[in-house]
Chains A and B, each alone.
Chain A
C-alpha cells in the first residue's frame, strides 16, 4: 500500500475538509436539516469504516454488523433511563458491552467460513434484535426515548448541534486514523494475508483465528461507538436500528464506496444517504430506483466509488 498522495487520498481529504466546513455553510444558510443529515452521515460512516475493517481488509463477510449499533445505542439508552447520564460512564460501557458481544459472536462465528459465516453473523444479530425487542422495561418493540443526551464536563455539550457534529467528525477522523494504522501494521497485514490465503498464513505460523477475532472485536467496538453516537443524535433507540436490513445498508455503504479502501466507506455512506435524500425528493417510490442501481453497481462497478478513482491496489 503506497503512502504517496494519490488521487483517492486527495479526494478523501477533500471530502473531510468539506465536512469540516459544512457548519459554516449551514450557519450562513440556516439549513438545520442539512446539519442533521450530515451528522447522521458522519456517524454511519464510523459504522461503515468499522465494517470495512473486517469486510474489506479481513474478508469477513459479517451480515450482522448493525447489532453493535443497537448494542452501543441501548447501552446509552438504558443507562440514561436508569438515571446514569454521565457520558464518562455511558460511552465506556457502550464500548465494553459491544466488545464483549463481538468477542462471543466472533469466537463462535469465525469457526465457520463463506456463506455459513454470513448466515451465523446474521443469526446472532437477529438474536440480539429479539433480546432487545423483549426488554419490556425499556420499551420493547417501541424503543426508548432518551430524556437527555450524554453529559460531559462544562464546555462539552452534546445538545449543541454544531458541537455534536464536530465531535462526531473528530471521532470519524480518529476511526479512519485507527484503521489506517491497523491495516499498515504487522497485525493488519497478517489479517489481510489471512483473507487471501488463510492456510498459508497458518503454515507460516500466524495464529490467524486469534488475529481475525481481535480484528472482529475492534470493528464491533468501533461500531458500538457509532451506536452510542446515534442514540445521542436521534435521542431515541429502538430494535429497528439493529434489524437485518440495517446490516444490509451498512454493507451497501462499504461496497458502494469500495471495499478494502481507507476512505471507501466514507464515500459510500455520503453517496448512499445523499442519494436517498435526492431520490426521495423526486419520487415517493425512490427505492424502485435505488434497488436496480445497486444491482448495476454490483454488475458493472465492482470497485465502487473508490474503483472509479484509479486502479485497485490489491485484490
Chain B
C-alpha cells in the first residue's frame, strides 16, 4: 500500500511535469496555430542552463532562476528570428522548420557542452525524504516539483482567465485578425506567449534534470508525450492539457509499475515479464488513439476558430 501511494505520487509528479511542457505547447498552438517540435529543445536547454548556472553560482535555486530567465530569452529570440515567419503557413511547414531547429539545437548543445551530458546535484535540504502520511515517506524534491507545478498551473489559470493579458491571449486564440484590427500589438503578444511557453518548457527541464541526467536528445522523447497530452486534452485547451497530463502521468507510471503483475494473472511468467515493458510504453499511445477515434477533437476542445 505504501508503495502504491508512492507510485501514485510519482505518477502525479510526472504528470504535472508533463503539464508544464504541454501547457506551453498548447498555448502556442492555440494562439499562433503553430506546431512547435522544437519545444523539446527548449526543455533540454533549460536543463543545460540550470546545470551550468548552478555550478557557477554554487546555488541550486539561483541557478534555476537564472536558467529560467535565460530560457525565456532564448525562446523569445527563436520566436523573433524564426517562428514569426511561420505563422499562417501550412502545418507541414511548421513540422519541417521546427524539425530543423531540433537538429540545430541538439548540435549546438553538443558543440558547447560536449556529448557527455551533465548532472545537476541537489542541495541537501531537498535531497531527504519527508513524511507525507503516517508511515509514508516521499522524496522532498519530487514533492517540491509537485508544489511548484501546481503553483504554475494556478498562475497560468489566473494569468489566462483573470488578467488583461490573459484576455488578449484568449481573444487571440479565437480570432487573431480581429484583435489585431482592434489595435492590440499582436507581434509583441505572440513573442511573449512563445517566451512564456519556452520558460515553462525550461522549468520542466531544469526540474527534471536532478532526477535524470542532462543529455542531448532528452527533449525528444518527452516532447512526443507532451504532444500526446495536448491532443488528448484538445489542442489549445490548458484545462484539457492539465487533466490529460495527470491522466498520462498516472497511467504511464502505474502501467510501468504494475503491468507485469497484471499480465501475470493471464499469461505465463516469462511472457508477462517480456511483454509488459513494451505494452506499458504503448498504453498512453493506445489511450490517445482511443480518444481520437471517439472524440477526434480531444477531450476538451478549445473554442472553435
Chain A residues engaging chain B, CB cutoff 8 angstroms: 55, 61, 63, 108, 111-116, 118-120, 122-124, 126-127, 130-131, 133-137, 244-245, 248, 251-252, 255, 285-288, 290-295, 297-299, 302
Contacts and interface: CB of A to CB of B under 8 A. Distances in A.
Contacts of B277: 134
Given A291-B100, A298-B97, A130 B278 contact: yes
Contact of B107 (A285, A297, A298): A285
A294 B100 contact: yes
Interface stretch (B15-23, B141-149, B156-164, B285-293): B285-293
B211 interface: no
B99 interface: yes
Contacts of A291: 100-105, 107
B292 A116 contact: yes
Interface string B87-110: 001011101110111111111101
B228 A123 contact: yes
A275 to B, nearest CB: 12
B62 interface: no
Interface of B: 29, 35, 37, 82, 85-86, 89, 91-93, 95-97, 99-108, 110-111, 220, 224, 227-228, 231, 235, 274-275, 277-279, 281-282, 285-286, 288-289, 292-293, 296-298
Given A137-B274, A297-B96, 12 more contacts: A111-B293, A116-B292, A118-B35, A127-B285, A130-B285, A134-B279, A244-B220, A248-B37, A252-B99, A291-B100, A291-B103, A294-B100
Contacts, number: 130
Contacts of B99: 248, 251-252, 294
A245 B103 CA distance: 10
13 contacts: A116-B296, A118-B91, A119-B231, A123-B288, A127-B289, A130-B285, A288-B104, A291-B101, A291-B103, A293-B100, A294-B100, A298-B89, A298-B97
Contacts of B91: 61, 114-115, 118
A108 B289 CA distance: 8
Contacts of B97: 294-295, 298-299
Nearest to A113: B296
Given A61-B91, A118-B91, A131 B96 contact: no
